[in-house]
């Protein structure tokens, strides 16, 4: 495959695959609110799709959708001193129309939860300058300003200036985030992609054939960014918080890109790009199928994206304690950093060390063995199983090779945080 074909197929694979269902739900919510506040049945009037979906930078698996419902200005006096009442009335209007749907107020928005995605509805009052006032119920209540139209317009204008590369880069960056569990919000990704393309003219007139270089340079740009608490969003210039440092993950991605670029258009290149972007990157067109003998190992590996959509929004970090009778316990991270070899006959206690997913969620684990010894023993494993409630997993180092443990946080059927530890046993 040529570079152009690889990245065209990749972006095609990233397309949102449930847009008709999303549009249907947006229409149902809009209709219920129009009925409540305007006594009409319109499914399109007085609403604005915002967030990644509204900026057209979302990808397959998108689960956190945002919409504004524009209130009649005549209702301002009813709610100007009672932000909670506006959110409660919005919730009740949706719940009355759709009683079997899960609907709740969450400080700034009304959350409407469906299978595999959630719509956050924000009732707003439009201002003369095109911005919107929205209610915040925290600490007694207040009104704040949001400017999503400026973000949407800035995205559209810049896309036209940069040969449509901005939205495509935003989508590829989301695939990288989801593959490696980097806790970056969509607006932060879009802002950083905008800043990167704004910093160079190298890709003003380039297209798919140069996307390998564009991705390489973008990850290098991210890796070299100084630590910041926030960025100014494209268009609106409002503060976008940095929830998790991304520089180290970006440096890793940059190095993986260098390796993939070296492979050029050979079949091996596709596999290397998958290490950057995940399974949505296309396989080589002429993948050689290995013949299977009667003694071939059973491929029991499962993939989380076959079980749940992935839309990383939060941070999850796992740690591993290595121990053996008669020896002092040690952290696997510290051992690998100090180049202390991990030998057989050790006990490995994996645990969720840090997690910032709000509300209820479940944890799932995956343990995968790779290499000739795993295949010879028919012990590849790779099944995904639910945590038993303690956020811990005990394993042992039985034989040498590459071993991987992954952990997933799943909320409303969607993987919202993930982490992975490589366990090289010598």
Domain residue limits, the chain: 19-146, 151-269, 292-425
Amino acid 291: pLDDT: 39
- CATH class given for the domain over 292-425: mainly beta
Report pLDDT for 312.
96
Return the SS3 of 103.
Answer: strand
**Range in 38-47, 125-134, 243-252, 378-387 the model is least confident about:** 378-387
More confident residue, 231 or 301: 231
> 410: part of which helix (H) or strand (E)?
strand 401-411
What is the distance between the alpha carbons of residues 15 and 228, in angstroms, rounded to a whole number?
31
What DSSP string runs through 154-219?
HHHHHHHHTTTHHHHHHHHHHHHHHHHT----HHHHHHHHHHHHHT-STTSS--GGGHHHHHHHHH
What letter would DSSP give residue 371?
Answer: S
Token pair for 346: 């050790």
Per-residue pLDDT, averaged over 363-371, amounts to 89
Q: What is the pLDDT of residue 327?
A: 61
Please check whether residue 46 is in contact with residue 32, taking contact to mean a CB–CB distance below 8 angstroms.
no
**Residue in the structure block whose two tokens are 């639910």:** 386
Residue ranges of the alpha helices (H) in 14-82? 19-38, 51-54, 76-79
High-pLDDT (> 90) share of the chain, %: 77
Q: 19-146 and 292-425 share one CATH topology? A: no
Contact 4, 208 (CB under 8 A): yes
The CATH class that applies to domain 19-146 reads alpha beta
Radius of gyration of the chain from Cα atoms?
24
Least confident of 113-117, 292-296, 342-346, 367-371: 292-296
Cα–Cα dist 29/102, whole Å: 12
Q: What number is the average pLDDT over the span 338-343?
A: 76
Q: CA 121 to CA 30: how far, in whole Å? A: 10
Lowest mean pLDDT among 11-25, 72-86, 274-288: 274-288
pLDDT at 294: 41
Give the whole-number percent of the chain exceeding pLDDT 70: 95
Contact, 90 vs 69, CB < 8 A? yes
Mean pLDDT over residues 130-148, rounded? 93
Phi-psi region at 116: left, alpha or beta (left = phi > 0; alpha = psi -120 to 50): left
A 10 A CB-CB count for 375 gives 17
Helices 19-38 and 83-97 sit at what angle, rounded to 10 degrees? 120
Candidate from 26-40, 131-145, 196-210, 329-343 with smallest mean pLDDT: 329-343
pLDDT confidence bin for 293, thresholds 50/70/90: very low
- pTM reported for the whole predicted model: 0.91
- Report how far residue 392's alpha carbon sits from residue 380's, in angstroms, rounded to the nearest whole number: 21
pLDDT (average), residues 314-327: 83
Instruction: Give the pLDDT confidence of 52-111 residue by residue, as tens digits.
Output: 999 999 999 999 999 999 999 999 999 999 999 999 999 999 999 899 999 999 999 999
């Amino acid at each position: 495959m040529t570079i152009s074909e690889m990245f065209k197929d990749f972006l095609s694979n990233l397309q949102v695959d449930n847009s008709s269902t999303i549009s249907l739900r947006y229409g149902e919510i809009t209709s219920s609110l129009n009925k409540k506040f305007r006594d009409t049945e319109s499914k399109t009037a007085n609403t604005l799709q915002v967030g990644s979906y509204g900026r057209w930078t979302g990808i397959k698996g998108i689960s956190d959708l945002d919409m504004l419902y524009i209130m009649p200005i005549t209702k301002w006096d009813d709610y100007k001193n009672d932000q909670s009442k506006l959110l409660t009335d919005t919730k009740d209007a949706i719940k009355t129309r759709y009683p079997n749907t899960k609907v709740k107020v969450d400080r700034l928005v009304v959350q409407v939860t469906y299978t595999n995605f959630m719509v956050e509805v924000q009732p707003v009052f439009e201002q003369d300058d095109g911005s919107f006032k929205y209610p915040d119920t925290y600490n007694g209540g207040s009104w704040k300003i949001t400017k999503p139209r400026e973000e949407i317009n800035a995205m559209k204008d810049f896309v036209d200036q940069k040969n449509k590369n901005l939205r495509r880069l935003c989508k590829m960056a989301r695939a990288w985030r989801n593959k490696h569990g980097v806790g970056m919000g969509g607006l932060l990704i879009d802002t950083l992609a905008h800043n990167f393309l704004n910093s160079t003219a190298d890709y003003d007139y380039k297209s798919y054939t140069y996307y390998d270089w564009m991705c390489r340079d973008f990850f290098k740009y991210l890796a070299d960014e100084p630590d910041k608490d926030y960025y100014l969003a494209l268009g609106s210039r409002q503060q976008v918080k940095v929830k998790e440092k991304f520089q180290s993950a970006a440096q890793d991605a940059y190095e993986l890109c260098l390796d993939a670029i070296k492979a050029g258009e050979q079949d091996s290149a596709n596999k290397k790009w998958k290490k950057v972007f995940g399974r949505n990157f296309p396989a080589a067109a002429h993948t050689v199928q290995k013949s299977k003998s009667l003694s071939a190992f059973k491929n029991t590996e499962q993939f989380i994206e076959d079980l749940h959509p992935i839309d990383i929004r939060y941070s999850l970090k796992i740690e591993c304690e290595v121990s053996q009778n008669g020896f002092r316990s040690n952290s696997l991270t510290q051992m690998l950093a100090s180049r202390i070899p991990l030998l057989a006959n050790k006990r490995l206690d994996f645990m969720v060390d840090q997690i910032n997913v709000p509300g209820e969620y479940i944890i799932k684990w995956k343990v995968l063995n790779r290499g000739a010894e795993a295949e010879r023993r028919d012990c590849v494993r790779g099944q995904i199983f639910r945590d038993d409630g303690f956020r811990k997993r005990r394993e042992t180092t039985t034989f040498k090779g590459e071993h991987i443990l992954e952990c997933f946080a799943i909320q409303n059927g969607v993987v919202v945080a993930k982490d992975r530890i490589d366990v090289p046993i010598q």
